[in-house]
């Protein structure tokens, strides 16, 4: 996806793409941890 952004835009796509990837990974990790912790708390 970054390649298409670079074709349309310029170098300014790089920080936007990196921020999107980092924030997306944090959101997915947060959801996974919440699911994991809720399963552990309900099993006791």
Tell me the C-alpha distance between 8 and 6, whole Å.
5
pTM of the model: 0.68
Q: Distance of alpha carbon 9 from its chain centroid, rounded? A: 22
- What's the Cα-to-Cα distance from 43 to each of 29, 36, 40, rounded to whole Å? 21, 11, 5
Structure tokens at 37: 């912790």
9 secondary structure, DSSP code: S
Containing structural domain, residue 9: 1-43
Predicted pLDDT of residue 31: 97
pLDDT in tens, 24-44: 999 999 999 999 998 887 765
Domain count, the chain: 1
Mean pLDDT (the chain, rounded):
87
Question: 7-28: per-residue pLDDT in tens?
Answer: 888 788 889 889 999 999 999 9
């Amino acid at each position: 996806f970054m390649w298409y952004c670079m074709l349309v835009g310029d170098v300014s796509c790089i920080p936007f793409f990196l921020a999107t990837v980092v924030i997306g990974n944090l959101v997915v990790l947060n959801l996974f941890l919440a699911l994991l912790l809720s399963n552990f708390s309900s099993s006791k």
